Amino acid sequence: MSAGAPQNRVVLGALLRKELRVELRSFSAVPAMSLFSVTTFVLFHFALQRNALSDDLASGVLWVTLLFAAVLGINRLFVADAEQGGFDGFLLSPADRSVLLYSKALTLLAYLLVLELVAVPAFALLLLGPALWPALPGLLVVLALGDAGIVVIGTLVGALAVRTSVRDLLGPMISLPLLVPVLLCAARAGAPVLGAGGAGALPLRWLVTLALYDLVFGLITFAVFDFLLED
Amino acid sequence: MYGKRLRALALTTFAALTLTLVLAFFWAPNDANQGFLQKIFYLHVPLAIVTLCGFVYGGVAAIMHLRTRDSRWDMRSYVAIHLSLVFGVGVLVTGSIWAKGSWGVWWDWSEPTLVSFLLIMLLYATYQPLRFAIEDPERQARYASVFAITAGAFVPINFVIVRLSTAYLHPRVLGDISANLPGRFQVVFYLSLISIALLWITLWRYEMTSKHASAQLRALRRLLAGDEDDALPRRSAVPTLSVSVEGGRAGGTPGVGASR
C-alpha cells in the first residue's frame, strides 16, 4: 500500500456498511433466500410424503435446501456492483483489491447466517423428527464449516458469472458442481447429529475433509479473484 | 509453427494405436473373471487418465496465460479442455458399457471414480457457455483462465473426496497395477496409455495448427483490405489469437508464433 491509500480495515468497514445499506434498502437477496428455503421444505414434505425426517435423509434435505437458497444469494451478490457501477467506483478508488473479496465473502456469510436463522428453526418445526436442541451444538459446527465452503466458492463463482450475458444460468451451473463436495461432507457429517435415536457424535473424518476443502478453495479464490477485477 | 512434424506425429500415433489394438485383442490373455469384456479396460482407463491430465494441463496453461497475458496460452488451455471434454464423453460411454457388462448396471453410484468423473464433466460442460457469454475477447480469456485454474484444481481434490465417500469397489488400476496385473496385461496397458496420450497430443496439435492458421489468415485479410475494414468479429467461445503476419505491418514481432 502506498502512502495516502486508505487502510484496508477502513475500506472493509465502508464496503460492509454499503452492502448492509444496499440490502436493507432493496431487500433483494436475504428475504428471497429465507422464503425459498421454507417453501422448499414444504415441497420436500409433499415430494417425499413424509411428516418427519431423521438421520441422513434429514441432513440431506436440509443441505440441499440451504445450498439452493445459497445459490440465489450467490446470483445476487455482485449484481448491484455490475449494474450500477459499483465495480468502477471501487476500482477508481486507491483501495486494495482483495478488500472487495473480503467484503463480498463476509456479505455472503451474513446472508447465509440470516438464512440459517430462518431455515433451521423452520426445518425443525416442519420436517425434523428428533428434537433440535440436543442436535444444535453439532449442527452449528457442521453449518459453520459448510457455510465457509459456500462462501469461498460462491464469492468466486458470483464474480465470475456476474459479467456474462447469462449470469442467472451460469452461476448455478458453475457453482453447484463445485459445491458437491461441500454438500457431500456436510450432509454426511450432519447425519448422525440428526439421528432418530438422539444426537450422535460428529464424524470427525467428514469435518476434517470439509475443512480442508474450504481451505484449499479459500486459497484458490484468494489467488485468482484479482484477475476478475481488471477492467 | 504447430504444423511442424505433425504428419510424422500423426503416423506414429496411428501405428501405436493399431499396435495397441492388435496386441490387446490377440496377444494379451483373456481375463480369468471377466473374459473378453476386460479388453475395454485398455481403452477406458487410458482415456480417463489422459482426459484428466488434459484438464489439469488446461489449468496449467491458464496459469501461464494469466502470468504472461499471451493469447497463445489461452488458446492452448482452450484446446486442451475442449479435447478433454470430447475424450471425457468417451470415458463415460466406455465406463458405462464396462459397468453394464461386469456389474449388470449402466450406472453405479457406489463407484467413486465414475461419480467424480461425472462431476468433473458437469463442471467443465460450463466452460464453453461461460466463454460464449462474455463478449469482450480479453475479458473472456481472463475469466476462462480463472475458471480453468479453479476447475483444474477441482479435478484431483474431487477425486479424493468422492473416493472417501464410498466403499472401495472400483478395480484399483492405478497404484497397485504391478501387483495386480500379469506381465502381458501390463505391457498392453502402458502401450495403450502411451498411444491414447499420443492421440490426444496429435489432435491437440492439429487443432492448434488450424486455429493458428485461421488467425493468420484473418490477419492477412485485414492487411490486404486495409486496417479498418474487417467486419466486427462474431461473438464466439473460441479465443482470439493475436498473430503477426510475416513481413507485414500488422504489429507484433515477426515470427511470434514460431516457437512451439
Domain residue limits, chain B: 41-214
* pLDDT given for residue B124 in this prediction: 95
Angle between helices B41-68 and B137-165 (to 10 degrees): 140
Write the DSSP string, A102-153. HHHHHHHHHHHHHHHHHHHHHHHHHTB-S-HHHHHHHHHHHHHHHHHHHHHH
Place of cell 451478490: A77
Structural contact between residues B257 and B243, judged by C-beta atoms closer than 8 angstroms: yes
Q: Measure A166 CA to nearest chain B CA, in Å.
A: 6
Residue B154 has a pLDDT of 92
Instruction: Find the range with the poorest average confidence among A93-102, A158-167, B30-39, B42-51.
Output: B30-39
pLDDT the model gives residue B169? 47
pLDDT on residue B249: 42
Give A25 to chain B, closest Cα distance, Å.
30
How far away is chain B from the Cα of A212, in angstroms, using its nearest Cα?
A: 10
Q: Is the dihedral of CA B90, A185, A220, A164 positive or negative?
A: positive
Q: How far is CA B43 from CA B83, B90, B106, B173, in A?
A: 16, 9, 17, 13
pLDDT at A115: 95
Q: What whole-number distance in Å separates Cα of residue B142 and Cα of residue A62?
A: 36
List helix spans (H) across B37-133.
41-68, 71-103, 112-124, 127-132
Q: How far is CA A132 from CA A54, A64, A122, A140, A209, in A?
A: 11, 18, 11, 11, 25
Tell me, yes or no, if B146 comes closer than 8 A to chain A by beta carbon: yes
pLDDT attached to residue B180: 57
- The predicted pLDDT at position A23 comes to 87
The residue of chain B nearest to residue A211, with distances taken between CA atoms, is B161
Can you read off the three cell numbers belonging to residue A149?
Answer: 465452503
Which residues are paired to A128 by β-bridges? A53
Q: How many residues are recorded in chain A?
A: 231
pLDDT of residue B162: 76
pLDDT in tens, A2-52: 555 678 888 889 889 988 888 888 888 899 999 999 999 999 999 998 888
Domain range list for chain A: 31-229
What span, in angstroms and rounded, lies between the C-alpha atoms of A165 and A180?
A: 25
pLDDT in tens, A168-218: 899 999 999 999 999 989 998 988 888 877 777 788 888 998 999 999 999
Q: What's the one-letter identity of residue A178? A: L
Chain B residue whose CA is closest to A219:
B150
> In whole angstroms, what separates CA B71 from the centre of its chain?
19
Distance (Å, rounded) from C-alpha A172 to C-alpha A158? 9
Asked if B10 and B202 count as a contact pair (C-beta separation under 8 A), the reply is yes
Q: Burial level of B175, CB count in 10 A (0-12/13-18/19+)?
A: exposed
Cα distance between residue B193 and residue B181, in whole Å: 15
Distance, in Å, from the CA atom of A163 to the CA atom of B138, rounded to the nearest integer, reads 13
- Cα atoms in the 13 Å half-sphere on the side-chain side of A37: 34
Give kind and range of the element (H or E) at residue A101.
helix A98-126
- What local confidence, expressed as pLDDT, does residue B257 receive? 40
B60 in reach of chain A (CB within 8 A): no
- Global pTM? 0.86
Are A205 and B162 a contacting pair at CB < 8 A? no
Q: Is B165 on the interface with A (CB under 8 A)?
A: yes
Q: Does A231 touch chain B (CB under 8 A)?
A: yes
| Cβ of residue A174 closer than 8 Å to a chain B Cβ | yes
Q: Which of A164, A167, A210, A230 to mutate to test the interface with B (most CBs of B within 10 A)?
A: A164
Q: Residues 180-209, chain A: which have Cβ within 8 Å of B?
A: 180-181, 184-185, 188, 205, 209
* DSSP-assigned letter for residue A163: T
Report pLDDT for B254.
38
Best mutation target among A220, A222, A226 (most B Cβ atoms within 10 Å) is A220
CA torsion angle for B95, B101, B105, B108 (degrees, to 10)?
-40
B157 touches chain A (CB under 8 A): yes
Cα angle for residues B157, B159, B162 (degrees, 5° grid): 105
> Could A170 and B162 be called an inter-chain contact, meaning their C-beta atoms sit closer than 8 Å?
no
State the complex-level ipTM: 0.88
| Closest C-alpha to A104, from A231, A200, A230, A229 | A229
CA atoms within 13 A on the CB side of B108: 21
Residues 6+ apart with CB under 8 A from B165: A184, A188, B112
CA distance B36 to chain A (A): 36
What are the average pLDDT values for consecutive 10-residue runs of chain B, which has 260 residues?
Answer: 79 90 81 73 89 95 93 93 94 88 81 85 94 90 94 89 63 50 78 92 92 88 71 73 60 38
pLDDT given for residue A42 in this prediction:
93
> What is the residue-averaged pLDDT of chain A?
89
